[in-house]
Amino acid sequence: MSAMISPAALTAAGVRREFPILDRIGDDGRPLIYLDTGATAQKPQAVIDKITECYEQFNANVHRGVHPLHERVTAELEASRKKVAAFLNTRPLDELDLLDDVSEIIFTAGTTMGINLVAHAWGRQFLQPGDEILLNHLEHHANIVPWQMIAAERGAKVVWCPLTPDGLIDLTKFDQLLTPRTKMVAVTAMSNVLGTIPPVAEIVRRAHAVGAKVLVDAAQFAPHGPIDVQAWDADFVVFSGHKLYGPTGVGVLYGKLELLEAMGPFLGGGNMIDEVFDDYSTYKRPPFKFEAGTLPIAEAIALGTAIDRVQAWGWDVIHHQEQLLLEACHARLENIPGVKIYGPGVDQKGSIVSFTVEGIPAHDLGTSLGRHGIAVRASHHCAKPLHRCYGIDATTRASFAVYNTLEEVEALGEALEATRQVFFRRRG
Ligand SMILES: Cc1ncc(COP(=O)(O)O)c(C=O)c1O
């Protein structure tokens, strides 16, 4: 196995050393094998330290005062916002002759909150009875349920694009379903079950041709590859901090400024108003119009640190290591009798492998792997419509990050084989 470790993998080994939890030995004496990054990524020391620094050195509320602590914390938060903007390659707003405090980057509580914000604030303004929202069966419930809710409220309709048998969005059907009635296409940049990476820029181009807007759910994609909102030309992009090696409780919504300006607010409250009178209020410009109340300040600042780390590691190292793990995992699992891997081949997906083992319920399998010290997820992964397409209730999912190793893939294979033996011996 060690003969397969390339120079890039050795650099990945250096990345791994930044994650203290990966040295953890469980109560059973086993080291942690964490193959559940799809649920949430582990945190590098720099992110943990930044949160501590926020509370120890400059804890105060933002945008609400004039003493030095306020100035420091506000500067840290706005610096993090600029890092997010650079990370997504947003347009430089100074070129558009806009004020310094206008931004297309909104801090949210996470992907779910970001999609709800757009569904409700954009949908209330722009959806009419008979309009259509085009989804597809790859989507996470977070990119389904808010659209169903606003569709019901506005008399609009959710339309479903099917998948091909190997788990790609069927682009021929997609074209047929795209009509002038389509007002929104909501699409994932990477499936949290199959790992499928749809051709986002192409989907946006086709949607724009009929006048539809596009929201891209980048929750899974963000830690695995560069996002360029200008190249995608997406109208909205959302992701969560905690899947990008950052803290929980914070996420990002990118929106094209002209759309954010045209939309009404989602939540009302402090910090988002310009003026409040007895009978009406006026609102600030984006981003603050969409940031009512106190933000998750330390988390948003530490998200900037997570982005610093990802950029320091570099996409080449991340991609190389994850591809190595993905290929090794496919090769290892495909040789185990009864294992079925769902979704496309390794060249059309990110580092997620969801599978079933014939005769072993996913939950039992996940529990058994847990007893071998291997953390995977076994469930419908908040993607019930997708599982229904395959006629199953649940899968077991191994999801990899740059910090995982080929030895951990091998441990998964061995634990699967051991589980099969015990399970079938028990059943006689
Ligand atoms: C593709 C996708 N979208 C949305 C979400 C929801 O993210 P959050 O729970 O951070 O809001 C997830 C979480 O697993 C996801 O994988």
Per-residue pLDDT reduced to its tens digit, 195-247: 999 999 999 999 999 999 999 999 999 999 999 999 999 999 999 999 999 99
Query: Which of 115, 140, 236 has the most ligand 1 atoms within 8 A of CB, as the residue to mutate?
Result: 140
Q: Check if 253 has its Cβ closer than 6 Å to any atom of ligand 1.
A: no
Q: How far is CA 395 from the centre of its chain?
A: 19
* Per-residue pLDDT reduced to its tens digit, 70-124: 999 999 999 999 999 999 999 987 655 444 678 999 999 999 999 999 999 999 9
Q: Check if 220 has its Cβ closer than 6 Å to any atom of ligand 1.
A: yes
Report which ligand 1 atom has the smallest distance to the Cα of 382: 14
**CA–centroid distance, residue 251 to ligand 1 (Å):** 10
Q: Minimum mean pLDDT among 9-13, 97-101, 388-392: which range?
A: 97-101
Residue 350: both structure tokens together: 């990110």
Edge-to-edge, what's the strand order for the sheet holding 352-357?
339-341, 352-357, 395-399, 377-379
Average pLDDT, the chain: 94
Q: How far apart are CA 279 and CA 151, in angstroms?
A: 29
Question: Could you give the count of Cα atoms lying within 13 Å of 411 in the half-sphere of its Cβ?
Answer: 21
**CA–centroid distance, residue 222 to ligand 1 (Å):** 11
Q: Check if 240 has its Cβ closer than 6 Å to any atom of ligand 1.
A: yes
pTM score? 0.95
Q: Check if 192 has its Cβ closer than 6 Å to any atom of ligand 1.
A: yes
pLDDT at 336: 97
H or E element: which one contains 107? Answer: strand 105-108
Q: Check if 37 has its Cβ closer than 6 Å to any atom of ligand 1.
A: no
pLDDT at 66: 80
pLDDT band at 63 (very low <50, low <70, confident <90, very high): confident
* Per-residue pLDDT reduced to its tens digit, 151-194: 999 999 999 999 999 999 999 999 999 999 999 999 999 999 99
